[in-house]
Structure 1
């Protein structure tokens, strides 16, 4: 592992061939000086990444993420099961400790969330934005970004409101106008969650979900002559969203692209995106769900990402998990697949995000969360996450010697960093420096102690931002075992 390294040794492509993570790294220069601007050379420095610049996210259950203990205690067992979706089939009733573990796991592992299912059309109609607002506020208060999922999901059943399902034989124009008003209009959801709206601002939206597989809305609209083709309808969804939210990242999202038996699905998805771009759809990003139900090699994963990258758009893995409810993938193969898809994604220059669709078995739609079992024990299949994402890819250096000019220089993976300057037996932490491009940070120690002195150091730091907690060895009160 390269998470913690001594002396001034750096791993570069010259040692093992070309560095596959070179595009994730920036040159970092740190200048250490005293209050008079004089270089401090008789010092060492520790560097520790606290947050990735790359987006590592997860789906969250809105209310489970934020419910107060008093409200939790007032729920009956069925209502408590409802907080986790009760997908696992085990009839597990979550405890309050489970909610604390759930939140700790999110804080410790992710910098991005996707609240569900409160932003979907039917539940949002029925329940309003209260729980979604709380989840977004909580995430943003802790430095996380948020995806709004999903604006248009053209299913014949949930989350389509009952009056617009096929059995209701909806009036096409009423159907279309209601969709626009509630999802894509000035009073709709994407506007509410903006600077001009009543809710917290969300800058990332899955505008169109699964158009390769569900087409109920556009089928009705095309049959009624509202649009000439389905692709015109889909392009219009993006055009309307962009008219309301030119500040937002607008994405298309679909499945069975990476998990397919061949490359044809990736080609079909690429061609669809290109066709929509020709029709004027302002698509900003391609998202790939990655619900994996078979083993796929790293080479095949990379090849399919290459195919999507031919569009020129950035890509995100949006809903990763692995299926084992019918023994499709063995635990050993899940472990290898998790490592392969993480590496393929992080090494690919067009990929800028990786999110899993939940992480804890009881709150996972397939009962197979990628990280934790029912008792919050880290799964063996999850080792790549902790070895790579939370380990090797979180750059750390210890006891780095400062040059005679007061300068330390090296390459580091982009992210937010804490620096600890050690001078004559005294240490001072400088927190929250965001490295996303070649950068120089100046750390000013206001008082430099003599070797025999014990003096508290104060600092003046440039470009300080919020600080995240380091990953503990426990999730809540449960020891993490690996």
Structure 2
């Protein structure tokens, strides 16, 4: 009788079943059985000052039992305060984490493995509000068993309070792979265009792409060639290898403020000039990384600009303004774009000390000095992991305040995570809705502590999958690897070229994608009107007509 009155599609039935009958594999996530299994980890090496109430009536959603946390003083390290629900039993499969929360602080939801390395598998970042909301994150549990897939909530990012309830973990089916399967057709549509050349009727015109319009580049570590034969030979080889694979670059360290100006007024212009000269000689676009980075490691916390108390915030602002006005004037026209503020979500020390107004000020000052430069924000785990929502919220606020932000930097240090096109697509779409171009600024695979532990063939597969994914997304406007040679890479064996100069499979895969698959090298015959026409990848073309060559740019 029910079915005779209502028409229900098979898809609706499946959705209904998945929504209503999925099994929650996490016990006591709603704290209705007391605080058993819940735990607050407060790093003893610089602990936070915090108050916690667990499994008390009235603290949960609709007055049920829940948790309330008040952070009065932040931990020494932002991830040093973690609220942990019970561990759960997992298969090697995709799962969905959901929870209800409210508060006035950001939190990170993290899935990680157990000892010894507690490897992070997935993470998401959320800015809580004073109203109860349901938050969610999809993740892959790539280890099977109890205690090797643990959920933690990092709650030491900012002083404030939160309440939490109804934490649940449900197993999902397979992710839809249709979008990635259509990557080649999207690449053809997005990255190619009609190209026409005037010639004589019936004349043969050869079209050869010599450089893509799409920026593909690398972080560089350049050294001056000074006459030492052995060192000069290595340096010349490094620069030649860079030119073989890339046409876009960024100084890895030399423009970071504490590196460029280690002591007040003492500028390392000569070191940075190596990068400027290299880019000009090879007609590369160059990125300035980074105007400001609030990290408290690498002795950057000892830099003269770093505020150590609220009393020093006014001086910090003066130093920052001077840095921007001096250096962007100096390098106007040399750097096409800048990471104005690096890792504001994760390295928020400066904001916690002095306030978030300096983020806006940095962009405003930079735009005033060099209105031709594209200004980017830059952070990690926002595409390689699921910390996208809070990044979106941050950028939305800047756009509403009419701050001159021109692009979104996504670092894409994958660590040991898998490359999942469906999840990358979902995160890119969230960012693309902001209407700004997205640039992959720091791509690599492997963990900074354990190195590259994938076989070289797997590393190559990851690069190909990722590049096909982002090159086929309309909002992505460029890709930078964070280094390419093992000897100049922050991850042990993380480069696409080995220490001895051997090309790994990843290097060959990357070269073949850009120079054999995504390229145009063809001949067309001019029609009766003298027009030769093809459809090819956008970029710089060598056009040959009757043995004579000319170069044209096609966007």
Fold in common (TM above 0.5): yes
Structure 1 residues 174-253: aligned runs within 5 Å: 174-181=315-322, 183-184=323-324, 186=325, 188-194=326-332, 201-222=334-355, 230=356, 232-253=357-378
Residue in structure 2 matching 1:403, options 527, 531, 541: 527
Give the counterpart of 1:275 among 385, 397, 405: 397
Confirm whether residue 116 of structure 1 aligns to residue 252 of structure 2.
Answer: yes
Structure 1 outlier segments of 4+, above 6 Å: 166-170
Deviations 1:330-378 (A, max 9, x none): 4343222111111111111111100111111111111334421112221
Classify the secondary structure of the residue corresponding to 2:519: coil
Q: Cα offset for 1:145?
A: 0.8
Alpha-carbon deviation of 1:269? Answer: 1.2
**For 1:187-243, what per-residue CA distance to the aligned partner results, in whole angstroms no more than 9, with x for missing partners?**
x21222126xxxxx3221110100010012222213xxxxxxx2x321221112112
Query: In the alignment, what sits opposite 2:491?
Result: 366
Higher mean C-alpha deviation, range 133-142 or range 170-179: 170-179
SS at structure 2 position matched to 1:147: strand
- In the alignment, is residue 148 of structure 1 matched against residue 308 of structure 2? no
| Matching of residue 163 in structure 1 with residue 334 in structure 2 | no
Q: CA deviation at 1:56?
A: 0.8
SS where residue 286 of structure 1 aligns? Answer: strand
1:79 maps to none
Match of 2:539 in 1: 415
Q: Tell me how far apart the structure 2 counterparts of residues 233 and 375 of structure 1 sit (CA, whole Å).
A: 45
1:172 aligns with 2:313: yes
Q: What residue in structure 2 maps to residue 58 of structure 1? A: 218
In structure 1, distance between residues paired with 2:479 and 2:188: 15
Aligned residue-pair number: 366
The TM-score normalised by the length of structure 2 is 0.62
CA-CA distance at 1:385 after TM superposition: 0.8
Is the contact made by 2:211 and 2:247 (CA closer than 8 Å) also made in structure 1? yes
**Aligned-pair CA distance for 1:128:** 1.9
**What SS does structure 1 have at the residue aligned with 2:542?**
strand
When residues 141 and 170 of structure 1 are mapped into structure 2, their CA distance, relative to the original with a 3 A threshold, is: farther
Q: Which residue of 1 aligns with 2:440?
A: 317
From 22, 27, 46, give the equivalent of 2:189: 22
Report the counterpart of residue 225 of structure 2 in structure 1: 68
Structure 1 equivalent of residue 106 of structure 2: none
Relative distance call for 1:214 and 1:402 in structure 2 (3 A) is same
Instruction: Tell me which residue corresponds to 2:241.
Output: 105
- The 8 Å contact of residues 483 and 495 in structure 2, kept in 1 or not, is answered as yes
Tell me the SS of whatever aligns to 2:235. Answer: helix
- On the 8 A contact 1:109/1:390 being kept in 2, the answer is no
Which whole-Å CA distance do the structure 1 matches of 2:307 and 2:183 have between them?
Answer: 58
Report which structure shows greater RCO (CA 8 Å, sep ≥6). Answer: 1
Counterpart secondary structure, 2:261: helix
| Counterpart contact for 1:250–1:285, Cα < 8 Å | yes
- Give unpaired runs (5+ residues) of structure 1: 1-14, 33-38, 74-93, 196-200, 223-229, 437-482
Root mean square deviation of aligned Cα: 2.4
Give the greater-gyration-radius structure (CA).
2
Q: 1:258 pairs with 383, 398, 418, which one?
A: 383
Cα distance between partner residues in 1 of 2:380 and 2:423: 16
**More displaced, 277-286 or 124-133?**
124-133
Aligned equivalents of 1:408 and 1:377: distance in 2?
Answer: 42
The answer to whether the 8 Å contact 1:371/1:382 transfers is: yes
Structure with higher strand content:
2
